[in-house]
Amino acid sequence: MGGWNSMKPKILLPMIMLLSVALGSACQHQPQSVVTGKLENGWYHIIGEDSIVPTPIATVKEFGALRVDSDYYGVYSIVGQVCRSKRQAWADATERWIGKRIGFVFNDSLITSPQVNMRIEGGNFQISTPQGKGIQALYGSLMKEKKDSIDALFKRNGWNIDSLQFHRMSSESQDSLVNTLDYGDAKALVRGFEE
């Protein structure tokens, strides 16, 4: 008559192992807080479980085109590209990090941290969250930050960006213009007029 006490180790060990696997895989996909201090919004190398290398691979102001996209199931993500001037650095950084993770940091939180499986030519990236939660708001924040960085560059150099009557455009037209002109192009444009 073995009863409950003789069966306890046989049942508990598999249950504990199953719970450990479930929690481990669930924790891998959850955003984690950044504890390394204030970081500029952008992509970073991740070391170990959640240590972030403080030098960015590419910051938001160095992003080229951004758009919201959805998969077959209707889950939203942000699809983008780094600007032309950062594409070689992006390809080299991803090649060095094959088999490791890079992470997108926004407002000192790690939003996503995919594993790099190959060298990524062309500067392409994707920002996703579980079930696409908060993607539309994140997209709006990224577009505003991108636009504000270009505005600040022009203002520092005495340019009045509103001479294009930018603020009278619809939000779709503003996004289109911001996506057309990235920070690297704007910087080159300003330098070209200064010379």
The predicted model scores a pTM of 0.72
For residue range 56-91, list pLDDT tens digits in order.
Answer: 999 999 998 899 999 999 999 999 999 888 999 999
Stronger pLDDT, 170 or 20, i.e. the higher one: 170
- Tell me whether residue 74 is in a domain: yes
CATH no. for residue 82?
Answer: 3.30.1360
Domain-located, residue 154: yes
Range of the domain at 63: 32-194
Inter-residue contact 43 to 25 (CB < 8 Å): no
Q: Is 178 part of a structural domain of the chain?
A: yes
Q: Tell me, what's the pLDDT at 19?
A: 29
The token duo for 156 is 């520092």
Evaluate whether 54 touches 132 at the Cβ level (below 8 Å).
no
Q: 130 or 18: whose pLDDT is higher?
A: 130
**What total number of domains does the chain contain?**
1
